[in-house]
């Protein structure tokens, strides 16, 4: 999947969190933003605490785009989410 993702310039979006309402909302906003932008993306929900901590994140929900933590501890607006995705798409 990693090779294919790079080949088609697919963006990997990860939502880090335990499945709380804010985590679910972040996943929803991320998917809405990616769909609105028309980008190829893979959305992964990371719930394992060890994996979450490996990103250096201490507050959830957190957003990781292509391996880079963009925000933690709050759910960004859709316009902010679009900006985070654009930064990685460049």
Give catalytic residues, as residue numbers: 20, 23
SS (H, E, C) 37-74: HCCCEEEEEECCHHHHHHCCCCCCCEEEECCEEEEECC
> Which residue is it, tokens 């929803």?
28
Burial tier of 41 (Cβ tally within 10 Å: 0-12, 13-18, 19+)? buried
């Amino acid at each position: 999947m990693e090779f294919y993702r790079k080949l088609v310039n697919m963006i990997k979006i990860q939502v880090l969190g335990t499945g709380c309402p804010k985590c679910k909302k972040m996943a929803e906003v991320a998917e809405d933003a990616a769909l609105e932008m028309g980008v190829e993306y893979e959305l992964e929900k990371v719930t394992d605490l060890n994996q979450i901590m490996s990103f250096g994140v201490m507050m959830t929900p957190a957003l990781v785009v292509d391996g880079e933590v963009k925000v933690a501890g709050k759910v960004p607006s859709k316009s902010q989410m679009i900006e985070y995705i654009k930064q990685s798409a460049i």
